Each structure stands twice: as C-alpha cells, then as structure tokens.
Amino acid sequence: MQISFATSAPAATLALPVEKDGLERLATGELGADALGVVTGAARASRFDGEAASVVEVFVSEGISVRRVLLIGAGAGSESDYERAGGALTARLLTSGVESVAVDFAAAAPTPKAVARFAAGAAQRGWRYDIYRTKLPEKAKPTLTAITLLNTPEGSEAAWAPQKALTEGLELTRMLVTEPPNVIYPETFVARVLADVAGLGLEVTVLGETEMRELGMGALLGVSQGSARDARLLALKWNGAGPGDPALALVGKGVTFDTGGISLKPGPGMEDMKWDMGGAGAVVGTMKALAARKARANVIGVCGLVENMPDGNAIRPGDVLTSMSGQTIEVLNTDAEGRLVLCDALTWVQRQHHPKTIVDLATLTGAMIVSLGSEHGGCFANDDSLADQLLAAGKASGDLLWRFPLSDAYNKLIDSQIADMKNVGPRGAGSITAAQFLQRYIDTGVRWAHLDIAGMVWAEKPGATYDKGATGYGVRLLDRFVADNFEE
C-alpha cells in the first residue's frame, strides 16, 4: 500500500476520521456545505457516534458526478483507536473497485504518532498473498493501492517512517508464514530472508548441518534427521548502538513443517503446520524492521530451522539426544520438537554472542491455545522486570501477552530416569513444562523470557490490521519492546 502526504486531495474517494461524539465538528475543505450536510445527516441516521473502526459510507452529488465519502470512527483518539480506524478503512475499500482514497484529518485532532498508526493499520490491513490463486474472480481482487493523508499535524510524516519499516517487517513475516511447505523449508527460508533484507546492514551468519554437528547441536539435528531437507541456523545481527555484543537476543522456532515425526499428528488440520515456523518468522520480520528504521540498539535474531518428518531415520520415542549444552534429553514424544530446536539455538547464541537478555518465540504447545485461545500469547520469564516490559509492549503494540508461572514444582515434572530431562511432562501444565525445559538452557544471570505464540500467528477470521491467515504476530510487540527498553 502506498502511503503519501499532501495538501489537497488527488482522489475522488474521501474518508473523514471522526473521534467519538465528534460529529458536530465534522469539517473538510474537500466538500461543499450541501454535500457535508448530507454526510452528517446520513451519519446521524446510521447512529454513527465515532466508535473506533465504525464506518459510514455515503455517496454525494457533485455536479453531474457522484463522490464516495466515508466517515471512519477514531474512538477516543488513542493511537490504537486510530490504527483500528485505518484498518477499517482498508477493509471497506480493498476490493471495492476504488484505487485510491484521500483521508482528511481536518475534523479530528490526532497526534503525529496517531496519524502514523492510522497509516500503519491501513497498510497492514491491505496485505494479501494471492500469487497461487489463478482463478480469483475480478470482484474479489484488491484494487486499493494508494492512500493520501491530508491536514495532518506537523511531524506526522516523520512519525510514519518507523511505522513504514515496521509494516515492511510484518510483510516479510506474513509472507514466510503463508508460503506452502514445499516452497519454504530451511534452505529456502534462509534464501528468501537474505534476499529481502539485503542492503539493510545486517550481519548474517548461516550454519549448515556440518557446522552444527561439529558444535554438538544434537537436539536440533535430532529433529531434522527424518527429513530430506537439511537444517539451518540463521542469525541476523544489528549493531545500531555501535560495536559490541548484542544487549538482546531474539530466538525463534523455525519448524517449516511439523508432521509430529514418529509421534504423528492427526491428518485433519496437519496442513496448518506450515506455520510452525511463526516464531522464526517474527524474529526475522523484527530484525528487518529494526534495521530499516536504524534502531539505536544492538540486537541479534537467531532462527533454528528444521523440518520434522517421519522416515526410517527419524528419532523415536525413547531415544536420548545430547544437546549443545551437554545436557541429555530423553525423547518421549517426537511432536514436542520445538523445544529441542530452541535449546540448541539458545546455547549457541549465549556462547557466541553473550546477550544479557533473551526472548524466544515459538508456536510451541497446543496447550497454550487451550489456555488463551487466539487473544493473547503466553509469557514466561525468569525476571519480573522483563515480564513487565514485555507485557507493557504488548499492550502498547496490540500484540497482547498473558504471564504464566515458573517454579521448581513444575520443573521436577520433566526429570528423567535415564537422562537429564524428558522432552515432555504429564498432560497437565503442558505449556509450563515446555517453558521449564527451555529455562534449563539459560545461563545464570541472563534475563530470559519465553513467548508461546501458538494461537496467534494464524487467524481464522480477519482482525483489525490483518485478513484471514498470517497475522505477523510478534513483530509489533518486539519492535516496541526494543524501542522502549533498548534504544539509546
């Protein structure tokens, strides 16, 4: 979506954001008094009061032509309300036949950041991935490509720049999550990401199976050994604060397709497991956003990339794997593979880059979906201040989190009789025991949080800033987390 700023409307279609109970202040230089009266009357007849994301659409006469005018509710005028308003505008016009729309903020009083969030919501809601749809009806094809913003407060265009970078990062994440598993697998994930972030100044490290085997990454490679696709470890490093070790590491689970391995998943719904790399997708999208907006922080993003398949060489329930840390793992369920991938990625980034704070993201457990549905991601942390920072970033960005407990009582549930630990505990507290497993790989003194985002990366119905499908969850959260807590 092309977003631009101007002083006059180049488009016939006009949108007017209206804050709650602000209809009496409705004003624009783009309409005559009679037309504005018709719009106001239609709004009253529709009981429109400016509630966030509400829409009234009117056609008014202009000489011998007709003009489409939309009133877009901006609620209480908060940044999040304006973001929802932008998303509502695009949702209404995306396949309407309208190619461009002018948005006049004359009747509202947004801050520059609110205008930028409006633009971001509009651009993000317009993302579609139709490249495999060869028979899409003409009326179902997107037409809206340009939004022009009028009468914005000073500083709005500057505020849009970081939101534009964030939106581009989201688009990378959504593309990776949406692509089918015969197109995106560990090798092509790396290739697609490197092509997309080229020229942004990110320092890239890619490890193949030979290098990982030499490092002793037996847990990650154990998951991969049943697949014809070789595993990869991808690291993207951004030194926006100058030379030195990264202050923050973001680590993502990148299982590009998850059959469950020998512990085979049920057939119905297995096609959804192409998005089991949503954590890795969020990490690379965040790293692109940080680099594109030149974030003043040192951050590294690490993705453990594998495919989990059942063949004669796949790991079996009962096998014991040795992780890079030296700790041994009794595999009771080969479908609890994400934690095996993450534990070696966590060890690698601590040994190689020594971050003081680590946040990992993973579509890790079905138990998290049972707990929280698709409204919140789960948050586990060994440090209260880190948990508070992430929860606050979630509220500010719209990518919501809910904190879960960690304790010795849960930790004991994954003790093994023949190895250092089991990869699963009992049926109860499945998300917590998965987090306890990962905590065993965190060095003393390192602040760590685990985000279980199993219910968040894919949506069965549209949201405020996304259509059905890939949401890009985690990118907005992490970008805000970095901005609020790590930028100098």
Parts of the chain with a pLDDT under 50: none
Quick: pLDDT tens for 379-426.
999 999 999 999 999 999 999 999 999 999 999 999 999 999 999 999
Distance of CA 98 to the CA centre of its chain: 28
Q: What was the pLDDT predicted at 65?
A: 82
Q: What was the pLDDT predicted at 378?
A: 98
| 265 belongs to the catalytic site | yes
Q: What was the pLDDT predicted at 253?
A: 98
User: Annotated catalytic residue: which of 68, 288, 339, 476?
Assistant: 339
Q: What was the pLDDT predicted at 107?
A: 86
Q: Find out whether 70 and 57 touch, Cβ atoms under 8 Å.
A: yes
Q: What was the pLDDT predicted at 10?
A: 73
Domains of the chain: 2-151 (3.40.220.10), 163-485 (3.40.630.10)
Q: Find out whether 297 and 486 touch, Cβ atoms under 8 Å.
A: yes
Q: Find out whether 361 and 451 touch, Cβ atoms under 8 Å.
A: yes
Of 375, 424, 423, 430, whose CA–CA distance to 404 is shortest? 430
Instruction: Give the Cα separation of 429 and 315 in Å (integer).
Output: 25
pTM here is 0.97
The DSSP bridge pattern shows strands 65-73 and 55-62 to be antiparallel
Q: Find out whether 453 and 279 touch, Cβ atoms under 8 Å.
A: yes
Q: How far apart are the first and last CA of the chain?
A: 31
Q: What was the pLDDT predicted at 223?
A: 98
User: Annotated catalytic residue: which of 265, 395, 403, 440?
Assistant: 265
* Amino acid, single-letter form, for residue 292: A
Phi, psi of 379 (to 5 degrees): -125, 130
Burial 247-286 (b: 16+ CB within 10 A, else e): bbbbbbbbbbbbbbbbbebeeeeeeebbbbbbbbbbbbbb
Q: What is the 3-state secondary structure (H, E, C) of the chain?
A: CEEEEECCCCCCEEEEEECCCCHHHCCCCCCCHHHHHHHHHHHHHCCCCCCCCCEEEEEEEECCEEEEEEEEECCCCCHHHHHHHHHHHHHHHCCCCCCEEEEECCCCCCCHHHHHHHHHHHHHHCCCCCCCCCCCCHHHCCCCCEEEEECCCCCHHHHHHHHHHHHHHHHHHHHHHHCCCCCCCHHHHHHHHHHHHCCCCCEEEEECHHHHHHHCCHHHHHHHCCCCCCCEEEEEEEECCCCCCCCEEEEEEEEEEECCCCCCCCCCCHHHHHHHHHHHHHHHHHHHHHHHCCCCCEEEEEEEEEEECCCCCCCCCCCEEECCCCCEEECCCCCCCHHHHHHHHHHHHHHHHCCCEEEEEECCCHHHHHHHCCCCEEEEECCHHHHHHHHHHHHHHCCCEEECCCCHHHHHHHCCCCCCEECCCCCCCHHHHHHHHHHCCCCCCCEEEEEECCCCCEECCCCCCCCCEECCCCHHHHHHHHHHHCCC
| 44 belongs to the catalytic site | no
Phi, psi of 408 (to 5 degrees): -60, -35
Q: What was the pLDDT predicted at 29?
A: 87
Q: Which residues contact 401 (CB under 8 A, 6 or more apart)?
A: 376, 377, 378, 379, 390, 391, 394, 451, 477
Instruction: Give the Cα separation of 74 and 76 in Å (integer).
Output: 6
Quick: pLDDT tens for 220-251.
999 999 999 999 999 999 999 999 999 999 99
- Considering the chain, what percentage of its residues have pLDDT values greater than 90? 94
